Amino acid sequence: MRYTVTTFKVRPEVCEPGEPARCSEHAWLIAKPIFANLDADREHFLVLGLNQRNRVVGHKEISSGTLTSSLVNPNEVFTAAMRLRVPAIICCHNHPSGDPMPSMDDQEITRRLKECADMMMIRFLDHIILGHERFFSFSDRGLL
C-alpha cells in the first residue's frame, strides 16, 4: 500500500497589495476575477482570508461541485482560515444559473459557518453569492 501527501496551496495575492474589502461590493469585485478562472458550469466555494485591517491576504477554494450544488464542510473552511493565519474571512460561492438568491441550503451553511466562526473567535464578515453581473450579500441583508 502506498500513501501520498498532498500540500495545501494558498494564493497570497488576489488583488492589489493592501486593497481592503470595506464592503460587500469590494469583496464581490475581488472575488469576480478568481471565479472567472474557474469552470462557469459548476458551483465553487472559496474563502477569502483578511487581515486585521480587512485587507485580503489570500484565498482558498474549498469545494468544486456540480451545476446545482457544492459540498461545504465548516472544518475545511476554518482549516483554510487557520492556515492563512487570518482573523477574518469572507465566504463566496457562485450560482451557475446566474441567479444569486440563496437556497435553503445556502442559508443553513451560512448559519453553521457563523456559529463556528463565533466559537473560534474568527470574524465571519460575509457570505457572498455571485450571479450573472450581480451578487447577494448575507451581511447586507442582515442575515449574519
pLDDT digits (tens, 9 = 90+) for 60-99: 999 988 877 788 999 999 999 999 999 999 999 999 999 9
pTM, full prediction = 0.83
- The candidate with the shortest Cα–Cα distance to 74, out of 35, 36, 45, is 45
Give the separation between CA 43 and CA 45, rounded to whole angstroms.
7
Give the count of domains, the chain. Answer: 1
Residue 80 lies in a domain: yes
Query: Is 87 a domain residue?
Result: yes
For residues 137 and 38, give the distance between their C-alpha atoms in angstroms, rounded to a whole number: 21
Q: Over the stretch 101-117, which tens digit does the pLDDT of each residue have? A: 999 999 999 999 999 99
The CATH number given to whatever domain includes residue 101 is 3.40.140.10
Return d(Cα 143, Cα 64) in angstroms, integer: 25
- Residue ranges in the chain assigned as alpha helix (H): 24-36, 74-84, 104-120
